Structure 1
Amino acid sequence: MAKIAFLLAGGFEDSEMINPYEAIKEAGHEAVIIGLEKGVECPGKQGTVSYTAELGAADANGSDFAGVVIPGGGAPEALRVNEDVVRFVKELNEQGKLISGICHGPQVMISADVLKGKEATSYIGIRDDIKLAGAIYKDEEVVVGENIVTSRTPADEPAFIREILAKLS
């Protein structure tokens, strides 16, 4: 059983959190929601769901987790400017652990400077940012580049979840 972090702030894309979160728990792994501060409520962009941060980013330690999932929507924009979030993602990368993001989720990876030389995808609106971060951009439903797993949109969630679970097995 692996312990997986979910990086979350308000405005995330609802299904991009709900579906991977439930799939990871159903597979027997532990899912921990990390927010900007512990106890902060994080409502989804579509208003169908809300989660409470179980751990603040300042208290998150990469060595305590097997990987991270970063849902898209508006949340990555708030997460990527937080030094503790960036540090946490860098720690996971240095340890060769899973870093996964869908839609706008890779914005956090860009800020953590973990995409250089790796294959990745994203929502088309941040495609150029992915390329400028040094990644090899691919317009595919899911792209696995070493320890990085990325997808484009909610339509790609089944492939995204499949590859995350494969990395954890």
Structure 2
Amino acid sequence: MADVAFLLADQFEDSEMDNPYKALEEAGHTITIIGLENGEALIGKHGSTYITDFAASEAKGTSFDAVIIPGGGAPETLRVNDDVIRLVTEVNEQKKLIAGICHGPQVMISADILKDRNATCFVGIRDDIKLAGATYQDQEVVVSENIITARTPKDEPAFIKEILKRLNK
């Protein structure tokens, strides 16, 4: 089974964290929550709460098989943290899975890993995706090499399906 890191900060979109988390846990994968501080209680836009297992400064890309980035307001906070960007870059360099939904690809933009890839996202950041060098596709889920992206909570079933397909190989 895979070791999966969720990158999280306050104001994440609850369902985009809750549903993939539950699906991966039920599939037997080990889950680690990484935030800006260790042991921090993070609260979603609708009240879900998670406690971080590690600070991004403590996390190493070699420790994880995948990184999942839920959307909402959290990616805006995460994308300006050098340790988060380092971690995502390390995971990408190893061609391990990086998945982001809604605003999650903002972290990928800041890590400069979308050039020459196909991607989707919340429509409000589609121009940012294009400016990062990706080809924007208005689809429920887009798989481009080791990167999986999705648009909104309504696309979660397809997003989760693609993540599980990749991790259960």
Q: Which runs of 5+ in 1 are unaligned?
A: none
1:23 Cα offset (Å): 0.3
Mind listing any 5+ residue stretches in structure 2 that lack a counterpart? none
Normalising by structure 2, report the TM-score: 0.99
Does structure 1 residue 99 correspond to structure 2 residue 98?
A: yes
AA partner of residue 69 (structure 1): I
Residue 149 in 1 paired to residue 144 in 2?
Answer: no
> What is the letter of the counterpart of residue 24 of structure 2?
I
2-side partners of 1:60 and 1:152: how far apart?
27
* CA apart distance, 1:165: 0.4
Secondary structure at the aligned position of 1:31 is classed as strand
Partner residue in 2 for 1:21: 21
Residues 30-79 of structure 1, C-alpha deviations (whole Å, 9 max, x = no match): 010000010111100112x1001111000110000001000000000000
Match of 1:166 in 2: 165
Alignment of 1:72-151 (within 5 A): 72-151=71-150
Tell me which residue corresponds to 2:58.
59
Match of 1:30 in 2: 30
What is the alpha-carbon distance in structure 2 between the residues aligned to residue 16 and residue 64 of structure 1? 23
Give the root-mean-square deviation of aligned CA atoms. 0.4
Which residue identity does 2:22 align to in structure 1? E
SS in 1 for 2:143: strand
TM-score, normalised with respect to structure 1: 0.99
Aligned length: 168
In structure 2, what is the equivalent of residue 46 of structure 1?
A: 46
In the TM superposition, residue 143 of structure 1 has moved relative to its aligned partner by 0.2
In 2, Cα distance between equivalents of 1:28 and 1:131: 36
Aligned-partner SS, 2:38? coil
The percent identity for this pair of structures is: 65
